[in-house]
Chains A and B, each alone.
Chain A
Amino acid sequence: DVKVTQSSRYLVKRTGEKVFLECVQDMDHENMFWYRQDPGLGLRLIYFSYDVKMKEKGDIPEGYSVSREKKERFSLILESASTNQTSMYLCASNVPGPEQYFGPGTRLTVT
């Protein structure tokens, strides 16, 4: 079974802090994705990566950056957290192939 893990289920940070969200997949997948999910807006793609050290902007990259130093790990970085970044963050990966495998999500609250 494919396993995608995220470093925290719940996270509370203060405005202005630098925040790292980590995602690890154990199936040697090429592609990895970061989404945020907000009520009434569904899932929106922040960034994705199709190879080590490669990254592409998604629909809402502003305020975020990413890092992929190893194939199995994809990190989302909030350089200076703001209250409007309070959200559920979901990581996913795939082969590439059409189906994406999701982690359990990190619910981030920025106060």
Chain B
Amino acid sequence: SQQGEEDPQALSIQEGENATMNCSYKTSINNLQWYRQNSGRGLVHLILIRSNEREKHSGRLRVTLDTSKKSSSLLITASRAADTASYFCATARYSTLTFGKGTMLLVSP
């Protein structure tokens, strides 16, 4: 399986701090995506980074990809209580995605 593995499993921070989540995967990919899931709801796409890219930004999100190490990181800067959610990386190969187990982020006011 090329399932990604997120690290840490859970992260608790204060508002205003930065949150960093990591993802490792096993096989070659076309792209890697990050999704957010609020408690008990569906997933929402956050950002995509292609296999030939090393870094990408979107608002307070910064994603890096190291294909030699088969790893990616998601940085959320200046976190807010509303960022509290589970975050999943998903690796794309052809038409399907393989999701990791997720990182639960708790941002306290």
Contacts and interface: CB of A to CB of B under 8 A. Distances in A.
A90 B43 contact: yes
Interface stretch (A13-21, A68-76, A94-102): A94-102
B7 to A, nearest CB: 13
Given A42-B100, A98-B48, A50 B95 contact: yes
A77 B56 CA distance: 39
B30 interface: yes
B101 A48 contact: no
Contacts of A88: 40
A105 B40 contact: yes
Interface in A62-90: 88, 90
B42 to A, nearest CB: 4
Contacts of B1: 59
A36 B43 CA distance: 12
Contacts of A99: 33, 45, 48
> Which of B44, B88, B92, B95: most chain A Cβ within 10 A?
B95
Interface string B11-28: 000000000000000000
A48 B45 contact: no
Contacts of B3: 42
Contacts of A102: 35, 42-44
Contacts of A44: 99
A58 interface: yes
Given A43-B88, A98-B31, A98-B33, A104 B41 contact: yes
Interface of A: 4, 31, 33, 35, 40-45, 48, 50, 58-59, 88, 90, 92, 96, 98-105, 107
Interface of B: 1, 3, 30-31, 33, 35, 40-45, 48, 88, 92, 95-102
16 contacts: A4-B42, A31-B95, A35-B99, A40-B101, A41-B101, A42-B100, A42-B101, A45-B97, A48-B95, A48-B96, A88-B40, A90-B42, A90-B43, A98-B33, A100-B97, A105-B40
